[in-house]
Structure 1
């Protein structure tokens, strides 16, 4: 991180470097998988059908969360993490509970600014939480010990809405309300203003149930509006209690009610809104795990400070699907999974020139998505090299049996409820589409997503996916023009079957003035 103007904040006991949201790295992300309610969509449906709680699927869930945690540290220069997760999330805290290699790696990641704690009301990362909040005492002790063991010259970069006025802290409370709590309520209350048919298709609701789904969303919006009118905070926990969780259970327990209509779909939407909201408040990107809903589902225009380029011309959009030329990749291997690595391996990976070049190449791509054809090849090349480094680390850590490496670039264009995918690499060129007939009026929004993966083993491999541009077509005529252009691409095939889905937050803390978010 560069030099920062610290004249307006205090540095507490010397352990901490306080920073404002605008001082985060341009490539900083907020990892949705670290949200205390996050589970993969398939597991969430299984939990609802079988009546199982988060604790009852803990082992499987922690494995998934930890893998996404590591992927965020591999694919982003900086990861912002809610302070509570350092002591309440087992996927993170397991590295802190024993003195050794893992805890030291965590200290280095903190001191380097790779991991940045987000503070809501606290002014120091080691500060005791309010007594009414649920914490895991052993986890909090491990967190305090980790901080206490930092070298005297090390500093933890902590981000907060404001560090002004340490006595009253009014500016921080005001900014938190306007940037975090109020936008969350607005996003929830805007759900019925979306195209319900598109929204239903993207969350996986059968077209025959779209009207019932829309009515249920109307109930969610009405409930939220009523809270606002009565000047009560609109927070996810309140919405969960009414529409998602089993009555009488603690929301933190994560026992979702199969008797509540569309509980799984509403949970997905609330979790998506929750995760992107903090990213917006900090002016950075949400990192959405594979299988979770992507932001395009919300049918919104991103704020300019956090928005990739906007593509509005059908012919320009087509260039994202045209074949790219890549040098043949030979004799490359990749480990069976990143999941087997340890935190110390991630730290070592981040110290390599290969990782640095990969992150810089992707930064250049997102900074200028209109130059996609010129820059995506560099990202692809750096990605292949990065996977070779991961393999080396995996071989040192365990007796890895590498899988054949057939790297491909996948570009996913979503427009409304239609998805088009182009795959290229190693002499492969495929274009496929799934278009849903809709009575379109007005403009259509969507996104362009870049995916880098091993063609052979897919999700089992280290995989990168991120939105690189937003899409906004002004009319149904422009949509038809784009669809017609895509149909003419060599090898194009249109898939039959169900509508495509829009798949690929952080619990903040509270006091009397700021309720649990």
Structure 2
């Protein structure tokens, strides 16, 4: 890193390795993100993103707040600060919300990601869609930062090379090339597993595989012609209504498997920035998880434990003992809070204890039994703090709360779920037979939520370990161990792992990411 940018009185330039270990990239802030079921409804009804705007905004706003509650640091594409109403609405006028945003920037809780630009207030290129009121609000937010406060901005490189060449090269290598490689590798996956995980009926798996072949062939053609493989181009060919601007979000019901292909493209697109920064995508409930990509994910081994032993994997599904819950109320909607409330929450000892407890768990997932109860207890106390803040604003619509811990173990197309807390415990499995080439990789996900899920309530969902089983014999051993657990039941049919998320790429040089 050179000193040229560090002399700026507003900005502290950082590189990816300087982000906090717990930093996340919130997928829901992507301009194309839509929950899985809503995506299908949109396509069936011929609706655009604008036509579902109010419902989608509430979902995005809630996920935005959840990311700030459940992670120590959130990396946000600079364009979202002025083009995403879930964020920009706090910036357009001077007041409590804008000041709260400044405090989040100054503390490093929010870190803007810069692609080509070298300063957060820099005018974007003329070819990009720009909401002028949002951009003005963003600039005024930055210029009004208190003297001495600085905004941490992350970029692939700050080297002062001619034409900014080093940043261009690293961006191509870490963002655009991996996107193309992942798209072009889709047909190398186990198609039956892939189809099951995106919700394609088993009898349609062959047709789905053929359509993926067309996606891969089209992408290969772009690469051969030295054209960049970007999501917008693939959307135009396989997802969007012909002749419409991709940004409108009009998805074509006449294009085979448009919804499922959108899910996969969005997933690939969103994990790329997280991978490039060496951190994690925060996946919203109802969105595809990256386990669908059937990756070995060696790059994660240094920061997230890999579970390779069937008996060790079983420990995640065994019953846990959790603290008794005294307060049985929760805010009915997280987005009823204000950004100022989120800042206040992050300054409480309760929030800090919650973040430390989860950090201890992810640092040693093999000690799950020792740490899970503490995470749950901290989560319960955090929820009480959230309710207290909501009540102060008289915005609370208390709902009955029965907090539970849910552990989701995914191996290939098999999904095992254990739910415990509030005097209940149950474990279920949804299993597809392994094919000869069946994937034996997967993940362990921890979910903290209400027993009766509400879409806008506070909840937490994070990957805490990867899974790599060496052989079908070890898979069978794990399956047998799970089936012996008291109260185990098989659910009918394969469980889906979710669906949807995204952003924008294009321009002849380095497209906007």
Please tell me the TM-score bracket, short chain as reference. over 0.9
Q: State the partner residue of 1:190.
A: 185
Are 1:349 and 2:345 an aligned pair? Answer: yes
Q: Residue 48 of structure 1 contacts residue 256 of structure 1 at CA under 8 Å; is this kept in 2?
A: yes
Stretches (4+) displaced over 3 A: 6-9, 440-443, 456-460, 504-512
Q: Residue 27 of structure 1 contacts residue 363 of structure 1 at CA under 8 Å; is this kept in 2?
A: yes
Alpha-carbon offset, residue 509 of structure 1: 6.8
Could you tell me how far apart the structure 1 residues matched to 2:112 and 2:476 are?
46
TM-aligned CA distance change 1:515 to 1:132, over 3 Å: same
Could you tell me how far apart the structure 2 residues matched to 1:295 and 1:89 are?
24
Using the size of structure 2 for normalisation, the TM-score is 0.97
Alpha-carbon offset, residue 404 of structure 1: 2.7
Are 1:78 and 2:79 an aligned pair? Answer: no
Q: What is the SS of the residue equivalent to 1:168?
A: helix
Could you tell me how far apart the structure 2 residues matched to 1:85 and 1:42 are?
24
Q: What is the SS of the residue equivalent to 2:52?
A: helix
Q: Residue 84 of structure 1 contacts residue 508 of structure 1 at CA under 8 Å; is this kept in 2?
A: no
Q: State the partner residue of 1:294.
A: 289
- Could you tell me which runs of 5 or more consecutive residues in structure 2 were left unpaired when the two chains were aligned: none
Could you tell me how far apart the structure 1 residues matched to 2:425 and 2:85 are?
42
Q: State the partner residue of 1:482.
A: 478
Alpha-carbon offset, residue 454 of structure 1: 1.6
Q: Residue 67 of structure 1 contacts residue 339 of structure 1 at CA under 8 Å; is this kept in 2?
A: yes
Could you tell me how far apart the structure 1 residues matched to 2:187 and 2:140 are?
47
Aligned residue among 247, 270, 280 for 2:242? 247
Superposition CA RMSD, Å = 1.6
Could you tell me how far apart the structure 1 residues matched to 2:439 and 2:494 are?
20
Could you tell me how far apart the structure 2 residues matched to 1:48 and 1:506 are?
17
Q: State the partner residue of 1:213.
A: 208
Q: State the partner residue of 1:104.
A: 99
Q: State the partner residue of 2:359.
A: 363
Alpha-carbon offset, residue 440 of structure 1: 3.7
Aligned residue among 141, 145, 151 for 1:156? 151
Q: Residue 79 of structure 1 contacts residue 116 of structure 1 at CA under 8 Å; is this kept in 2?
A: yes
Aligned residue among 308, 318, 321 for 1:322? 318
Q: What is the SS of the residue equivalent to 2:389?
A: helix
- How do residues 207-286 of structure 1 correspond to structure 2 at under 5 angstroms? 207-286=202-281
- How do residues 71-150 of structure 1 correspond to structure 2 at under 5 angstroms? 71-150=66-145
Aligned residue among 440, 445, 450 for 1:449? 445
TM-aligned CA distance change 1:493 to 1:506, over 3 Å: closer
Alpha-carbon offset, residue 433 of structure 1: 1.0
TM-aligned CA distance change 1:236 to 1:347, over 3 Å: same
Are 1:34 and 2:29 an aligned pair? Answer: yes
Aligned residue among 406, 413, 426 for 2:409? 413
TM-aligned CA distance change 1:349 to 1:166, over 3 Å: farther
Q: Residue 413 of structure 1 contacts residue 448 of structure 1 at CA under 8 Å; is this kept in 2?
A: yes
Alpha-carbon offset, residue 67 of structure 1: 0.5
Q: What is the SS of the residue equivalent to 2:427?
A: strand
Higher mean C-alpha deviation, range 228-237 or range 307-316: 307-316
Q: State the partner residue of 1:54.
A: 49
Q: What is the SS of the residue equivalent to 1:205?
A: coil
Are 1:335 and 2:328 an aligned pair? Answer: no
TM-aligned CA distance change 1:507 to 1:12, over 3 Å: farther
Could you tell me how far apart the structure 1 residues matched to 2:47 and 2:437 are?
42
Alpha-carbon offset, residue 479 of structure 1: 1.4
CA deviation digits over 1:447-470, x for unaligned, max 9? 110011121445442110111011
Q: Residue 121 of structure 1 contacts residue 510 of structure 1 at CA under 8 Å; is this kept in 2?
A: no
Could you tell me how far apart the structure 1 residues matched to 2:456 and 2:86 are?
19
TM-aligned CA distance change 1:292 to 1:487, over 3 Å: same
Aligned residue among 5, 8, 15 for 1:20? 15
Could you tell me how far apart the structure 1 residues matched to 2:221 and 2:357 are?
48
Q: Residue 447 of structure 2 contacts residue 461 of structure 2 at CA under 8 Å; is this kept in 1?
A: yes
Could you tell me how far apart the structure 2 residues matched to 1:9 and 1:511 are?
27
Aligned length: 511
Aligned residue among 489, 503, 506 for 2:498? 503
Higher mean C-alpha deviation, range 20-29 or range 163-172: 163-172
Aligned residue among 392, 397, 411 for 1:396? 392
Q: Residue 404 of structure 1 contacts residue 456 of structure 1 at CA under 8 Å; is this kept in 2?
A: no
Could you tell me how far apart the structure 2 residues matched to 1:129 and 1:420 are?
46
